[in-house]
Amino acid sequence: MAAQAPDQSPQLSSDEAIVFDSASKSTIARGNATLTHQELTVVADEIRYFADQNKAMTEGNAQVHYGDFRLVGRGLVYEVKSRETSSEAFRLGSPPLFAEGSGFSGTTDKITVEGVTLYFGEPSPVGLNIKAAKATVYPEDHIEAEKVTFRIGNFPIFKLPRYRQSVESLAVLLSAKFGYRSNLGAYSRIDSLFPFNENWRAGALLDAYTKRGLLAGPALEWRMNEADNQALFQLESGFINDTGERGRDLLSQPIDKDRYFITIRHRQETGERFSVNASVNAWSDSEVLRDFRPDRFRDDQKPDNFVETVYRGENFILTGFVRFSPNNFQNIQERLPEIRFDWMPSQILQSGAYHSLSASYVRLEEDSFKLQPEHESDRFDFFYTLYQPIEVRKWLHLLPVASARLTHYTDTLGSGESYTRVMGEFGLDVEMKAHATWEYQNKSLGIDGLRHLIKPVARWRYLPGGSSGQREIIPIDREVFSASLPPISLSNIRNIDDLSDLHVLRLGVENLLQTRDDEYGSRNLAELNFYQDILFSADKGEDEWSHFFAQLNIHPVKWFHFGVYSKMNTEQLTLAETRTRFRLSDGDVWQLTFETDNLQRQVEQYDVDIFYKFNERWAFRSRWRIDSRRNDLAEQIYAVRQRIANTWDIEYQLVFHDGSTREDDFGFNIRINLLSF
């Protein structure tokens, strides 16, 4: 805060004449009396200024204004030299912080309050607040409080002897869900996290089910937000002695009474070179999250468990990775551990040619299902690639590629002896580029000129030696189903334990429509790409003309998006897969989403989501999921959302299911969430 210059004195003004009281040696301003001193303004019914004491006092109601800072109190005293203000009963506002209490003193740099109630967001009789015997507020920084009670309205829910947190937000998570399902009975679910200081939050998951019992477990969160160290650790868990009808798990095994789930997430960035990322999901059975946390199960039906550490050097990356399986219902390719070194592409002696290499060791194990003999393998893998970008013309570029991969296995099928496989890759990428521009303008769509880029591509890859060792190698890293465009480059293929010889030509045309953008230079309006793979060494049962892929994305404005991905069997002229995504919205007022997922002879589903906000308090949401293969409306959700005092979101739901193995045909839910500030 700037110090007062010797000649800087407060200025008084009022509706009535300003008088001097010789008895008290004070200047008196009445009737909308105003005192201004530098950036600070005091408005009151009456202000007395004592020049000899360099102090001002107010009578009646008084207001203090300083930037975004507002104080309303009675018996206010302002010390001009120190610029300190004090009062008895007061109300204070400096968004997002609001407070009221019995005593106030301080400057705009440091405020001490007594008998105080602190609100984050709009004060409300049903809002979450903090009651403290004493608190020190450092505006735009943090709060330190003593004898703290967290409350909803006047109802106490949590106490701490001391507490410190940022003034930017009230870091409390509180959500509840109430409802009824025939297999669970009437139930309540409560998730909470309360802050102990700026870094730590702790709470619990606490559920009650009339047909299942009590589920409870600790929750914890730790954050670090320093200049060179960003970190987030999260733990949540639930344990229950399930007394209801539990049914069978994914493997048709009876589910035990003792059930649990434990979820751990950790992300950390230390400096610019080191990072850690970890995820742990320990479930007692495959259905525990589906029964007790169905919303989270929808997004994470096959839990992953891994820890990854990465060190980024000047031109290399060193990675340590562990994937493990604490669950007995999944088939997981465990990596215990994998150590990998990647030398990034670098030029060879200013020749214009580039090379890169990678080397890794991994201990592979697979025994989760107990339905097959345990698979174990130690694998050493070395990969080297060399390529030379060639610009034939500005519109024609060539990229010849040559790679080699050496893979050594310490254990093999049957004999258990070691085995080494050597394979190579030869390839050539051909890219042609052309563009056209038009000075088309459309302010409503934010279009400032148009540019169409077209890029015909041809990518040829020949991978001899991939099929060697198929009878010796234990196939742990094997090919899995993927709906994406399959990789053809040896550096991108992950299923190196069940490779086959590959000789393929990928032909494609890539299109991009752009406009100018002030922030990024250009903005994509639409993309349209086509690819066709031709297999010169097709395996038995495969078509020489492999699948034809098409990708379309249209995103001209923020409120409209349309995307299509299709995969067609070229020789049979049948669609193997189609996915569409459509979204139309009007800010936060309404949104319509339509999605389709079609996989030949397996999946044919359609999803529709509608959201409409009537006003700031009420909104409506609905969702329909149609399964055409079963000819039923698999899921229906109808929900009305209510916002109370800008503090709570309450959603009333009706849920209908058809054909589900565990969900009820009908359910009613009430969700309550504390808004974050």
Q: Is the pLDDT of residue 199 over 50?
A: yes
pLDDT range class, residue 7, cuts 50, 70, 90: very low
pLDDT exceeds 70 at position 370: no
| Residue 46 within a domain | yes
pLDDT of residue 258: 97
Residue 513 confidence (pLDDT) above 50: yes
**192 in any annotated domain:** no
Give the list of residues 6+ apart from residue 323 with CB closer than 8 angstroms, or none: 304, 305, 306, 332, 333, 334, 335, 336, 338
Q: How far apart are CA 481 and CA 470, in angstroms?
A: 20
- pLDDT, tens digit, 9 for 90 and up, residues 550-568: 999 999 998 999 999 999 8
Q: What is the pLDDT of residue 3?
A: 32
Residue 115 resides in a domain: yes
- Stronger pLDDT, 361 or 41, i.e. the higher one: 361
The pLDDT tens digits of the residues spanning 384-406 come to 999 999 999 999 999 999 999 99
Exposed e or buried b for every residue in 209-232, given b needs 16+ CB within 10 A?
A: beebbebebebbbeeeeeeeeebe
The Cα 460–Cα 289 span in angstroms is 46
Boundaries of domain holding 36: 11-166
What is residue 6's predicted lDDT score, i.e. its pLDDT?
A: 42
pLDDT of residue 169: 66
DSSP 414: S
pLDDT for the residue 541: 58
Residue 40 lies in a domain: yes
Helix (H, G, I), strand (E, B) or coil at 304: coil
Q: pLDDT averaged over the chain?
A: 89
Quickly state the pLDDT bin for 371 (edges 50, 70, 90): very low
Asked if residue 609 is part of any domain, the answer here is no
Contacts of 150 (CB under 8 A, 6+ apart): 128, 129, 130, 156, 157, 158, 159, 160, 172, 194
Q: Give a yes or no: residue 225 inside a domain.
A: no
pLDDT confidence of residue 336: 93
Between 541 and 233, the more confident residue is: 233
The model's pLDDT over 250-293, given as tens digits with 9 standing for 90+, comes to 888 899 999 999 999 999 999 999 999 999 999 999 999 999 99
For the whole model, what pTM was predicted? 0.83
In single-letter form, the type of residue at position 367 comes to D
The rounded distance, in Å, linking the Cα atoms of 666 and 180 is: 9
CB 640 within 8 A of CB 651: yes
Mean pLDDT in residue range 218-232? 91
Q: What is the pLDDT of residues 404-437, one digit of tens each?
A: 999 999 988 877 789 999 999 999 999 999 999 9
61, part of any domain: yes
Q: How many domains are contained in the chain?
A: 1
Residue 161 confidence (pLDDT) above 70: yes
Ordered DSSP codes for 224-243: EEETTEEEEEEEEEEEEE--
pLDDT in tens, 595-649: 999 988 788 999 999 999 999 999 999 999 998 888 888 899 999 999 987 788 9
**654 in a domain, yes or no?**
no
pLDDT at 528 over 60: yes
pLDDT of residue 372: 57
Domain with 34 in it: what CATH number?
2.60.450.10
